[in-house]
Chain A
Amino acid sequence: MGRTLLDKIWEEHVVHQPVGAPALLYIDLHLVHEVTSPQAFDGLRAAGRRVRRPDLTVATVDHNVPTADRHLPIADQVAAQQIAALRRNCREFGITLFDIDSAYQGIVHVIGPELGLTQPGMTIVCGDSHTSTHGAFGALAFGIGTSEVEHVLATQCLPQRKPRTMAVRVHGELPPGVAAKDLALGIIRAIGTDGATGHVIEYMGPAVRALSMEGRMTLCNMSIEAGARAGMISPDEKTFAYLRGRPFAPQGAAWEAAVRRWSELASDDKASFDRVVDIEARTLAPFVTWGTSPGQVVAVTERVPDPAQAPTETERRAAERALAYMGLAPGMPIEEIPVDRVFIGSCTNARLEDLRAAAAVVRGYRVHPRVRAMVVPGSQQVKRAAEAEQLDQVFRRAGFEWRDPGCSMCLGMNADTLQPGERCASTSNRNFEGRQGRGGRTHLVSPMMAAAAAIAGHFIDVRQWKFK
């Protein structure tokens, strides 16, 4: 019987398997940020514990950093204290920190891969649910809470039950104008926001193989929105080509040895999964969420659904509540929904490829006069690379704001938030009530769709776009 990618990584990392209890799993890489770590470091100090492997721990600041006026002191005193606490903790415990002025600073799930810290076959954790992003490289990567952050800091291990496995096979080819983000939303639409609870998803099939590493990261990133413990993709030549020469990737003979080892990781042909879901790529379209849960999503050419059609009373009430919050009426064509704000950013869609895709739509156009639009690159390196291609000029000329890297308006912990009632086309991952600011209305879309909405002033099918 064949073994899955998850089986192989799991077996390699079991330090101890007590009878009837969770396995003690070794963690290869622990990523730390300012919001979910201060209480963990306090816990270590209170118990007189040390960080077992500071060399396997890397920190950055992303969640609450300002994305403008970085030369000035941080105006938000509480955020400034949190960042100062991370600096103190990293110094005290000997942890590498890519601070706000570092050339490597950025959203933790963007910098891990681009620095080559993220590698196939690894176990990776971070006090952030979108840690699933790193699974794009064939790693087992999952989000943890602060108590578990403390556990990993102290022991470099976590007691874990092996999750169940779900194969999501995507057949055929994604149609033009349909992005990795649309694939992710299409999968959530098919299986639901708790469709993969307790499972690790492995994405496979021709449409997944055809994705770039950036697209694979977008897909794995959204796994948590389907309830999955993690998302992963078996590594291949694309994975290795992406990592070669990155600052923390193995070099020389070690690189050759690593690639040999990584080449053995892919799930075996005969490997079996607890569940299998089949998706036909040709049935997918550019999607737009209409509600307050990522599963409340339709194609851009559809209409806002009628809650009366919901399968259960509970779902009907949830849909009514969502529509009231979103200020939408059943039957309204999605393309007639006007937007006030556009946010291109987040760990889902703020990599160079995302910015290129958005810039291609924007080139030669102006942002609609009613719309305020911003681009927040995922990292300093993404920002520099985009500027080297003059993408910043494309965005600025069109009327977009061009910001410094951070999580920004994905979760609105810094000054980048929606005002009550404002409607936003956002490339981020969550359309929860108040996520981008109290009373703010979030519609999740791909970078191309967000860019097109910024120009048109309403949602528009990017498959019909006239590129200049």
Chain B
Amino acid sequence: MQPFRVHTGLVAPLYRPNIDTDQIVPKQFLKRIERTGFGQFLFYDWRYLPDGRPDPSFVLNMPRYRGASVLVAGRNFGCGSSREHAPWALADYGFRAVIAPSFADIFANNAIKNGLLPVVLDEEIVQLIATRAEQSAYTLTIDLEQGEVRDPNASLARFQIDPFARHCLLNGLDEIALTLQHETLIAAYEERRRRRDL
């Protein structure tokens, strides 16, 4: 996986609850058999008008958010389908972190496996960040090493993440390789089960 240590970037606000993975990447783009190139489909039905032109009122189409790499969203971000195409699209578009009051479990797992950091903060802080990002160009630093979110002026909040996920993210570890190190244990487990089921 792509390591994540410290990232500083422009914030794009999309402060709505229950942003589901169907919105993040609509189903018509799930038929590709590659992992790459999904950024062009990110938030497709919100980003583009039915005639295919960009919708100028959608946040990612506003020139001031060009190059944004931190998304701030409402609670239960990533609910719905297990499609990993959702974090693939966010990461491919250029996002490195999503800040929200809560995330759907499967989405958070999928995001971490792609070096996209889900940052859970209190609703009031998330709202504050969204408001600031709506008002002017707002830059945040997400520091996974310190477990801290800060803006150019001050530290805003501490955040927690599963320590194993943190370890994997900081070091960009291949989780499958880690599991394969336990081959003897897996084989022994299978043997125990085989004997039981005889």
Q: Which of B40-70 contact A (CB under 8 A)?
A: 45, 50
Partner of B82, one of A47, A82, A143, A321: A143
A15 touches B33 (CB 8 A): no
Partner of B105, one of A81, A85, A146, A229: A229
Chain A residue contacts of B106, Cβ below 8 A: 129, 142-145
- A314 contacts B180, CB within 8 Å? no
**Which residues of A, 348-397, contact B by the 8 Å Cβ criterion?**
none
Chain B contributes a number of interface residues (CB within 8 A of A) equal to 53
Asked if B152 CB lies within 8 Å of chain A CBs, one says no
Residues of chain A in range 81-138 having any CB-CB distance to chain B below 8 Å: 81-82, 85, 127-129
B132 close to A (CB within 8 Å): no
B135 close to A (CB within 8 Å): no
Q: Are A159 and B175 in contact (CB under 8 A)?
A: yes
Interface centre among A78, A155, A430, A439 (most CB of B within 10 A): A155
Kindly list chain B residues whose C-beta atoms are within 8 Å of the C-beta of A317: 16
Decide yes or no whether B20 CB sits under 8 A from chain A: yes
Contacts of A39 in B (CB 8 A): 33-35, 84
Please pick, from A26, A47, A438, the residue contacting B45 in the complex, using a CB distance under 8 A: A438
* Cross-chain contact of A413 among B31, B35, B87, B175 (Cβ < 8 A): B31
Q: How far is the CB of A255 from chain B (nearest CB, A)?
A: 12
Contact A145 B82 (CB under 8 A): yes
What chain A residues lie within 8 Å of B75 (beta carbons)?
194
A159 nearest CB across to chain B (Å): 7
Q: Could you give, for residues 89-108 of chain B, a 1 whenever the CB lies within 8 Å of some chain A CB and a 0 otherwise?
A: 00000000000001111100
Report how many residues on chain A are interfacial, defined by Cβ distance under 8 Å: 67
Give chain A residues whose Cβ lies under 8 Å from the Cβ of B193.
26
Given contacts A15-B182, A128-B82, A159-B175, contact A227 B50 (CB under 8 A): no
Q: Return the contact of B18 from the options A52, A128, A154, A193 (Cβ within 8 A).
A: A193
Chain A contacts of B162 at CB under 8 A? 22, 161
Question: CB within 8 Å of A: which of B124-167?
Answer: 127, 162-164
Residue A49 is within 8 A (CB to CB) of chain B in the complex: yes
Give the distance to chain B from A248, nearest Cβ to Cβ, in Å.
14
Nearest residue, chain A, Cβ from B165? A22
The residues of A that contact B8 with a CB separation of less than 8 Å are none
Assess whether B82 is in contact with A64, with CB atoms less than 8 Å apart: no
Tell me the A404-433 residues at the B interface (CB within 8 Å): 411-413, 420, 430, 432-433
State how many angstroms separate the Cβ of A441 from the closest Cβ of chain B: 14
Residues of chain A contacted by B22 (CB below 8 angstroms): 411, 430, 432-435
Q: Is the CB of B175 within 8 A of A438?
A: no
List the B side residues contacting A20 at CB < 8 Å.
Answer: 163-164
Given the interface pairs A49-B176, A413-B31, the reply to whether A194 lies near B76 with Cβ below 8 Å is: yes
Docked Cα-Cα span, A56 to B193, in Å, equals 13
- Taking a contact as CB atoms under 8 Å apart, the answer to whether B31 and A79 are in contact is yes
A–B Cβ pairs within 8 angstroms, 20 of them: A21-B163, A24-B186, A36-B83, A42-B34, A64-B31, A127-B84, A128-B81, A144-B82, A145-B113, A147-B84, A147-B110, A148-B109, A198-B105, A227-B104, A227-B105, A314-B16, A315-B17, A433-B45, A434-B26, A439-B50
**Chain B interface (Cβ within 8 Å of chain A)?**
15-18, 20, 22-23, 26-28, 30-35, 45, 50, 74-76, 79-84, 87, 102-106, 109-110, 113-114, 127, 162-164, 175-176, 178-180, 182, 185-186, 189-190, 193, 197
| Given A21-B163, A35-B30, A197-B104, 20 more pairs with CB closer than 8 A | A15-B189, A22-B162, A26-B186, A49-B176, A76-B31, A82-B31, A129-B80, A146-B110, A148-B113, A154-B179, A155-B176, A155-B180, A159-B164, A194-B104, A197-B76, A197-B103, A314-B127, A318-B16, A411-B81, A438-B50
List A residues at the B interface (Cβ < 8 Å): 15-16, 20-22, 24, 26, 35-36, 38-39, 42, 47, 49, 52, 63-64, 76, 78-79, 81-82, 85, 127-129, 142-148, 150-151, 154-157, 159, 161, 193-194, 197-198, 224, 227, 229, 254, 293, 295, 314-315, 317-318, 321, 411-413, 420, 430, 432-435, 438-439
